[in-house]
Amino acid sequence: MRQRTDVPAAHQWRLEDLYPSGEAWRQAKTALASRLDDILGYKGKLTDSPAQLLSCLALNSEMSKAFGRLHSYAHMKSDQDTRDAAYLAMKQETEQLATEYNTRASFIEPEIVALDQATIEKFVAVEPGLKIYRMYLLDVLRAKPHTLSQQEEKILARAGQMADGPGSVYTVFSNAEMPYPEITLSDGATALLSKSGYALHRASTNRQDREAVFHAFWSAMNQFRQTFGVQLYSHLQTHVFYTRSRNYESCLHRALDRNNIPVEVYHSLIRNVRDNLDTFHRYLQLKQRMLGVATLKYSDLYAPVVQGLDLKYTFDEGRDLFLDALEPLGPEYRRAAEKAFEQRWIDVYPTPGKRSGAYSNGSAYDVHPYILLNFNGQYDDVSTLAHEMGHALHSYYANRSQPFPLADYSTFVAEVASTFNETLLIHKMLREIEDDDVRLSLLMNYLDGIKGTVFRQTQFAEFELRMHEMAERAEPLTGDSFTKLYGDIAREYYGHDKGICRIDELYTVEWAYIPHFYYNFYVYQYSTSFTAATALAEEALAREENVARRYLRFISAGGSDYPITILKEAGVDMTTPEPFRKTMAVMNRTMDEIEAILARRKES
């Protein structure tokens, strides 16, 4: 943690590329607010002619693009210091304005569903400008059974602002106002266990410190479990409200229908992971062996497995490692990545009040993507840089290659690009490092990635599914019931009752730590994307013909088709178990290599 004034400008994002000042942002907001009623000029006229439809959709796109830029600035300013109420107010102003606009524009889709596909195709043929909206128009028709009357759509649009309430409360409380504990470590140092502090110190090489960190952090979280429970329950109720209002079978059906993802993809992921828990337990037992502990505890999972080896990287070193890892994709992709560092897309270090974690924001279509990091100098932080750069470059290529209506891609494909970059990085490291200790550390880090992305995120996905099902059945959901549900699932995954990994009762409040539960069935896509990225990376690392060109075409596709189709064109069929099977093969191959190194050492 360092003061923001001590961070060099080169390591802070340059939000001036969006607006040169807060005053400029406010002027842009005022100008946008003055245009909200323009869209009403098309109400009742969309089916009159192709020209009318095009004109309305063009204005809607223009407004959406302006909102994306406006919200990006306010959102990132707020995340830069969540304690500053002025930035939070700017974010709220933008959201309120967007709600006002969406309320006015709520007539668009009800009018479009009055058309049939033949009429839409005829409109597109007559008015070429409608070609970039064809995907959107046909998708609206696909969702016709869930589209309501104009008045009902207007009501739902107004409800949107309230729907964000629980997540906003969680973000501010957990990042800015939660009274996180301080502890004294074994070396006498004092550690503030904020979210970023916990993420850093849970990986301590000292087991006593790790247990102290876990106990202090989760004790603090547990004191507020009922508050966190009310927040999450309120969030779930918004999903149930929208699901029933739009006549969906379940919250899961509604969430996946947006991108036309079959619900079987979700269920098969959980089934595949549960069928392969033996592979996951093999990894846990390998970690126990390498740590030299009689019983593996949940507090051991982030510990380095090679004692005395503390891989540390400056941000500049991490940048160079990442850029060199991109070699299989050719010079064009590397040149695009270099722009992120040269043009200050990235906010690097943790500072007081800064939002925890990391993300990429590609919403400013006419500018460039941005990345928030909390870089602590560990290998995981270098891997996170690669991950978020995958997102940023996905946005960069999609925004550059597609018109605005087709640029925005789904999360289902977004995490493929990020995980693909992480895979390139780890393989670059393993190709060049011969030292057994470093190789063991990196190989385990790769396995930790599979654990965290495939198994842990699927564990989250199952918890998310079960809590939504409970909400749909109107069952009580409190901090205690969330904790019990989460604990039961976690203990099954980690083999608690089999003696594989012990999870203390206190740690089952972990659900309150995960911000992604305030999204809408988001986390499963980390798992599916990891398996898709693994399949693609295997081809890239094998230097299969045209794989780099296929990959660049994939990240340039944006939202020009449904994600399942885009991935099929890239060579990955997510409706089959093949990507998951390849991932398990890679995981077992990695564990085989680790065991070979350990056996060789034992013999010597």
**What's the pLDDT tens digit per position in 122-150?**
999 999 999 999 999 999 999 999 988 88
d(CA 211, CA 217) in angstroms, rounded, equals 10
Task: Note whether residue 198 is domain-resident.
Answer: no
Task: Note whether residue 168 is domain-resident.
Answer: no
Average model confidence (pLDDT) across the chain: 94
d(CA 196, CA 438) in angstroms, rounded, equals 25
Active-site entry in 111, 388, 415, 462: 388
**Which pLDDT belongs to residue 562?**
93
Task: Note whether residue 342 is domain-resident.
Answer: no
Q: Is the pLDDT of residue 544 over 80?
A: no
Q: Is the pLDDT of residue 90 over 80?
A: yes
d(CA 145, CA 64) in angstroms, rounded, equals 25
Task: Note whether residue 36 is domain-resident.
Answer: yes
Task: State CA 182 to chain mean position distance.
Answer: 29
**Which pLDDT belongs to residue 308?**
65
Active site residue 469: no
Task: State CA 101 to chain mean position distance.
Answer: 27
Collapsing DSSP to helix, strand or coil, 530 comes out as: helix
CATH number of the domain that residue 66 is part of: 1.20.140.70
d(CA 291, CA 303) in angstroms, rounded, equals 8
Mean pLDDT along residues 341-347: 98
Task: Note whether residue 65 is domain-resident.
Answer: yes
Residues 281-309: tens digit of each pLDDT: 999 999 999 999 999 999 999 998 887 66
**Domain limits for position 124:** 4-163
**Which pLDDT belongs to residue 159?**
86
Q: Is the pLDDT of residue 94 over 70?
A: yes
In the chain, the number of structural domains is 1
> C-alpha angle with apex 482: 478 to 488, nearest 5 degrees?
145
Q: Which whole-number Å values give the CA distances from 532 to 271, 358, 535, 563, 572, in the listed order? A: 17, 22, 5, 12, 6
**Which pLDDT belongs to residue 12?**
97
Q: Give the residue from 269, 141, 161, 286 showing the smallest Cα distance to 529.
A: 269
Q: Is the pLDDT of residue 452 over 70?
A: yes
Q: Is the pLDDT of residue 385 over 90?
A: yes
Task: Note whether residue 481 is domain-resident.
Answer: no
Maximum alpha-carbon separation in the chain: 83
Task: Note whether residue 461 is domain-resident.
Answer: no
Task: Note whether residue 528 is domain-resident.
Answer: no
pTM greater than 0.85 (yes/no): no
